[in-house]
Every structure is written in C-alpha cells, then in structure tokens.
Structure 1
C-alpha cells in the first residue's frame, strides 16, 4: 500500500466538496458523532478562508483520508468558544500566529498505517505560524494520546473547570520530523 499525498487550496475546494463529504461519511460510519450535514456546514465555512489548505491521501485512485485547516484570523472567536479563561496574550491572533487543524480523518482500512501522521505532517510542515491548534473530544482518549505522541499539549484548562467534553491542544511550529 503506497499512499500519495496531494495538496489543495481554496480554489480547489468546490471540486473537492463531494469527495470530502464522502470521505467524512466513510470515516464516521456508525459513529454517533459523525454528522455529515454538520460537517458540510463546517467545511463550507472553512473553505471560504483564502488561506484554507487541504491534504488528501490517495492509494492509487482511491482517496483514503484528509486533513485541512487554515490560520486563525485576527477577529476569530475560536479561543473564546474553546477556552475563554485564557489571557489576551494567549488568544491574540494576527492571522499568521496560529494554524488550526480543523479536520483529520482516515478511512478504516488505512488506520494504524501512519497515513494520519503523514497527512498531518505534510499539512503542517510548510507552515510559518508559531503554533497549530485543534479540538478533540476528551472521550476519544486514543486520539488525545495520538496527538500527544505527535507533540501536542493540552491548552491549560480553567482552574475551576469541570469535566470537559472538548479540549484544545496546541503544537509548537515548525514541527520536528
């Protein structure tokens, strides 16, 4: 199995929309958090960013996974929705400070083959931002552990915060190979 990685940008997004929807549906088949309609809405919002980038892995002609995101714009509410307790120094965005890994998914037959890590690294390696961030369901402990093994750290939680359903994780850029 040789998976080739292909880069795409915002101008490519309209032609990729159905493929990404199909991939998402297959990645989350049978998973209660998989909501293709909600994903389509998120995808449409992300794709409007002029700096949106995507990596899709192909095994021959078959798409096996995807990773995409874009830098947080200066007027973002990402931090206030994710971790409103953080200081203004932490959450101040310039449009070139933080890259958000919005989505990463791999179809079942290609999981545990290193494809996710390769797509992740391929997407982030050329980034010039200081950090990358993502959100992950805390109940997905395997995913949290994978992200930790790739160098991500948990964003500091609020001192009195109870059990969180979603946590933010941050990775210093540039990534180390």
Structure 2
C-alpha cells in the first residue's frame, strides 16, 4: 500500500457500482471503522445489503478511486432525492487514510456531483458527523454551508446537514 503513485477516479452508473460493490465495501469498512463512526462488521454488512437497492435509484452516480495497481482508495455516490429531483443527495464520500489530503476526495466529489452543475440539479445535500472535523473543513472549503442538524437513523450521533448551491449554466 503505497500512497505516492497516481490515482484515477472512474465515474460509475448504478450497474457498474453494483459490480464494484466489494471495492466500495473495502473502502467503507476501513474508513468508517475509526472515529468518530466506529462502524462494526454488522453495520458494514447492513450497509451493503442496502447498497444494491441504492445503485438502482434513478439518477444514481458513483465514483471509485484506484491506484495504478487497481487498489481501491476512495468512494463516493449519491442520487437525486425522490421528493425533490432538483436536489442531489451525496450519500457517501470516503477516502482511505494514506490517500487523504491529496485531492482524492475532491476528485471523487466532483466526479459524482460535477455533471449536475450544468444540468437539472440546483443543490447538493449531505449529512456529516458533527465530530468529523476534517470532512467538515473539506466540505466548507468546497462551498457547503450548514443548514441544520439531524440524526440520520435511530440511535445515530448528531450529524450536520450541509448544502451546496450549484452554479447555473
């Protein structure tokens, strides 16, 4: 695992992301095992039981970052809200520790969200753990603003709801 080589980011539609589920799982399990999430094996398994359903959401977009050797180092995905198709929900964005602070997260974000700026999306929303200060700082530097707070599932720690207004073409 050498974080110094080039990393490529591939945009994936729903079927391609479903085929790459094991790479998504590897990154997710590693990133969310640590603080402030402390995701368990059972939690990861539950998440990836839902993943195939999420990849079938209308407008699903995913991104997978890999090293030149094919090692997965980062993931992102989301889709338009069913209740408001002008709002894109960024469900997950995760980068393995050795590749953080190298632009991989921004590249994943822009790959998933980027094409919507000139299209039909007006806003991007996401939830981020209140104690994930690195992610909070990254999102704010990309233009996101806090609009509220939520507990995204029963028993969840507080998360901040962030919103990004996309420029109109």
Corresponding residue of 2:38: 33
Change (3 A) 1:16 1:113: same
Change (3 A) 1:30 1:141: closer
Instruction: Calculate the TM-score normalised by the size of structure 2.
Output: 0.80
Residue 145 of structure 2 contacts residue 162 of structure 2 at CA under 8 Å; is this kept in 1?
yes
Change (3 A) 1:28 1:156: closer
Which consecutive residues of structure 2, in runs of 5 or more, have no partner in the other structure? 151-156
Shift in Å, 1:72: 0.5
Shift in Å, 1:29: 3.5
Shift in Å, 1:46: 1.7
Corresponding pairs, count: 150
RMSD value, Cα: 2.1
Corresponding residue of 1:131: 123
Question: What secondary structure does 1:100 align onto?
Answer: strand
1:145 lines up with 2:153 in the alignment: no
Structure index of larger Rg: 1
CA separation in 1, counterparts of 2:149 and 2:26?
Answer: 35
